[in-house]
Amino acid sequence: MNSLRTVKGMHDILPKEMPKWHFLEETFRELVDRFGYQEIRTPAVEPLELFVRGIGEVTDIVEKEMYAFEDKGGARLALRPEGTASAIRSYIQHNIGGQQPISKFYYVGPMFRRERPAKGRYRQFYQAGAELIGVEEPTADAEIIDMAVQFVEALGIENVRVQINSLGDQETRPLFRDALVEYFAGDLDKLCPDCRRRLQTNPLRVLDCKVRDCVETAAGAPSVLDYLTGEAAGHFNELKRLLDENGTPYQVAPKMVRGLDYYTRTIFEIQGESDTLGSQATIVGGGRYDNLVKDLGGKQTPTIGFAFGIERLLLMLGPGASVAVRPTIYVAGIGDGGLDRAITLARTLRKAGNKIEVSYREGSLRSQLKRADRYGAIIAIIAGEDEAARGNVTWRNMKDGSQEEVSLSDLDERLEAHK
C-alpha cells in the first residue's frame, strides 16, 4: 500500500523550520503591539457570499482559486482565501464599531487558494495582516505604510522598494474604467483570453496581468492619477507629504493595481529582490478599502490595512533569522533507582524554567550520553546512586567531556548561567 502524502500545493512545516517562523511571527506581534493593534482570530470556513461580495465576483480568487463547497446542510461555504474580509465580517457581526470609534486588528493564520504552486506559494499558505478601521485621514495611510516598512526592516531585509498609487474614489473609478476600455479596444488581439474577458468585467485587472504580451500592451495605458477627483488627489498628495516628512522612501507606481475589488484610494506594495522570489517580488501589499464595511452590511467606515504571505517572506530571511532557543539539558539516571531519580529531577528543573530532556527507559550511561548528543544537549546532569547519597549530581560538559560533582542546591544557579 502506498504511503499517504500531503495534498498537492500544501506542505508540512517541520520542527527544524520553526525557529524562523517563530522569529517572523514574534517580530510582527511585537511591532503591531507597539502600534496598539490587538489580535483577532476568525474561522477558516466562512460563508461563500462573504468573499463574493467582499473580494469581487469577477476576480481570479473567486472565479478560479477559492475552495468553495456545499456542506451536508446545503450551506454554501468557502475556505478563506485572505484575512481582511473575515476580519471585517467579525467587526460588523460583533458591533465593534458601536463600542469604539477606531479599531486596530491584526491576524495570523492559514489561508487557502487553489492556484498554481510556485516558489513560496502554496494552496494552503499562512498570512498575517493588520487592519486600521475608522480613520479616513491620510495620516492613517502614512502610519500603516511606515509600520509595514518597520516590520520588514526589523526582519533584517535590505534593499526593499516601497511603491504607492491611488485608485481614486467612486467618482474616479468609472472615468478610469472607460479610459482603459477605450485604450485596449484597438489591441484586443494582443491580450490574453483572460484579459479580453476582464476588459468587459473588471478592466483594472488587465493592468495586473503578468502575461508578457499584456504587460507590453498595457505599458502605454492611461494612468489612474490623471483621473483623480480633487478630493482623491488631495488625499494622495497629503500622503506623499507625510511619507516625506517621516523619511519613508517610496516610488509612485501609476500603473499599479491590487488584485481585489475592494481597494479604493491608497494602495501600496513592498517589494524584495526579484532574484529571490522570481517575477513575483511583492512581499507586503495593502491599501484602503473604505467601502468594504458597507458592502458587507455595516455602516460606511474607512479602513486601511496590509497583509503578507509568511512563506514568501521567509524566503527573504538569512540563516541567522531565528528566535533564541533555550539550550537543552539532559538528565541521566544511573544505578538502582536511577530512572526514578532522573525523572523526579527533570520535573523539578522543568518547573524552574529549564529545557530538559530525559530518558523514558533504563539504559547505560554510554547510551544515555549518545541520546543527549542527538538532542543537542550542552550539559548532561547525571543522577548516580553514589552521588545521590551525598546530595549531589555529576555535571558533564557535553562539548569537551569534562565533568565534576556538584551539589543539588547549586544546580539552579549553574543552570541560570546557561540559559
Q: Which domains does the chain have, with CATH numbers?
A: 15-171+229-314 (3.30.930.10), 328-416 (3.40.50.800)
Name every residue whose Cβ is closer than 8 Å to that of residue 139 and which is 6 or more positions away in sequence: 242
Is residue 393 within 8 A of residue 377, CB to CB? The reply is: no
Higher local confidence (pLDDT), 277 or 68: 68
Element (H, E) at 295: helix 292-295
Cα–Cα distance measured from residue 316 to residue 26, given in angstroms and rounded to the nearest whole number: 16
Task: Record the cell numbers describing residue 135, joined without a space.
Answer: 480613520
Q: How does the average pLDDT of the chain come out, rounded?
A: 89
Identify the pLDDT of residue 277: 55
Cα–Cα distance measured from residue 371 to residue 373, given in angstroms and rounded to the nearest whole number: 5
Do strands 45-47 and 76-79 pair parallel, antiparallel, or not at all (unpaired)?
antiparallel
pTM: 0.86
Task: Record the cell numbers describing residue 130, joined without a space.
Answer: 493588520
Percent of the chain with pLDDT over 90: 57
Mean pLDDT calculated for residue range 136-165:
92
Nearest to 309 by CA among 349, 278, 282, 337: 282
Cα–Cα distance measured from residue 215 to residue 369, given in angstroms and rounded to the nearest whole number: 62
Identify the pLDDT of residue 404: 92
pLDDT in tens, 208-263: 787 888 888 888 888 889 889 999 999 999 999 999 998 888 999 988 887 667 88
DSSP of 50-78: HHHHHT-TTSHIIIII--EEE-TT--EEE
Name every residue whose Cβ is closer than 8 Å to that of residue 274 and which is 6 or more positions away in sequence: 281
Task: Record the cell numbers describing residue 90, joined without a space.
Answer: 467579525
Mean pLDDT calculated for residue range 160-174:
89
Cα dist. 148→138, 263, 273, 283 in Å? 15, 18, 17, 10
Identify the pLDDT of residue 316: 84
Do strands 264-271 and 303-309 pair parallel, antiparallel, or not at all (unpaired)?
unpaired
Cα–Cα distance measured from residue 35 to residue 23, given in angstroms and rounded to the nearest whole number: 19
How are strands ordered across the β-sheet holding 355-358?
355-358, 328-333, 379-383, 392-397, 403-407
Identify the pLDDT of residue 273: 65
Identify the pLDDT of residue 116: 83
Task: Record the cell numbers describing residue 106, joined without a space.
Answer: 491584526
Identify the pLDDT of residue 203: 82
pLDDT in tens, 76-89: 999 999 999 999 99
- Please report, as a single letter, which amino acid is at residue 96: I
How are strands ordered across the β-sheet holding 45-47?
45-47, 76-79, 68-70
pLDDT in tens, 171-210: 888 888 888 888 888 778 888 888 888 888 778 888 878 7
